[in-house]
Structure 1
């Protein structure tokens, strides 16, 4: 991937994080990136997500916690607007 595209995608992620959560910083961007990736994989290739969940039960718990955190931050941000 070229540098320009990478910078443009980072800008998109930054804005998405801000709109989704009401704020953005590096930690939140990384959480949103992981959440978006896992959500997309689980919808587009459910067997792969299921296999990963079975292979990494600690990861499964971690992603569940991350999803809950993203949902709570989103609800909080929506309530403040």
Structure 2
């Protein structure tokens, strides 16, 4: 991937994180990236994610915690906008 595209995609993820959670830190951006990747793969190739979850149960738990954290941060952000 060329540098320009990488920078533009990073900007897209940064804006998405801001809109989703209210503010952006590198940590939040990385968590949103992981969440987006996992969610997309889970929807497009469920057997692969099932296999991964079975093979790496500790990672499955970490992803569940990450998803819960993002959901909570999004709910807080949405409630502050009302």
Please report the TM-score for the alignment, with normalisation by the length of structure 1. 0.99
- Size of the aligned set, in residue pairs, is 81
Equivalent residue number for residue 52 of structure 1:
52
Equivalent residue number for residue 18 of structure 2:
18
List gaps (5 residues or longer) in structure 1: none
Equivalent residue number for residue 79 of structure 1:
79
Which string of whole-angstrom CA distances, capped at 9 and with x for unpartnered residues, describes residues 2-47 of structure 1? 0000000000000000000011110000000000000000000000
Task: Give the Cα–Cα distance (whole angstroms) in 1 for the partners of residues 80 and 14 of structure 2.
Answer: 19
- Runs (4+) of structure 1 moved beyond 2 Å? none
Please report the TM-score for the alignment, with normalisation by the length of structure 2. 0.98
Task: Give the Cα–Cα distance (whole angstroms) in 2 for the partners of residues 23 and 64 of structure 1.
Answer: 22
Task: Give the Cα–Cα distance (whole angstroms) in 2 for the partners of residues 49 and 74 of structure 1.
Answer: 24
Partner secondary structure for residue 23 of structure 1: coil
